[in-house]
Amino acid sequence: MPKIRLILEDDTGDTIEQTFALEGDLEHLDGIDEAVEQFKNDALSQIERALLQAAQERALTQEKKTDDPA
């Protein structure tokens, strides 16, 4: 079963790695199209979640820095 390994690296070099297995009938165009569409839906939602979480963490850190009178 073919797999796609996706590595997301931020500006500081931290990485998130995820492997996605392409499932279904990969011998025919329709099956390949369905497998790629499923990968796209799964991968993009996870990437979006990771990016949003990182952005929230940065915002909280920045907010703490601006609230700290020291």
Question: Could you tell me the pTM of the whole model?
Answer: 0.66
The predicted structure's pLDDT at residue 9 = 87
pLDDT of residue 20: 92
Going by C-alpha positions, the residue among 42, 7, 3 that lies closest to residue 22 is 3
CB 35: neighbour CB atoms within 10 A?
20
Token pair 């796609």 is found at 4
39 and 24 in contact (C-beta within 8 Å)?
A: no
Residue of 1 and 40 predicted with greater confidence: 40
Supply the pLDDT for residue 69: 65
Of 14, 19, 16, the C-alpha closest to 47 is 16
Tell me what pLDDT residue 67 has.
Answer: 75
Inter-residue contact 18 to 1 (CB < 8 Å): no
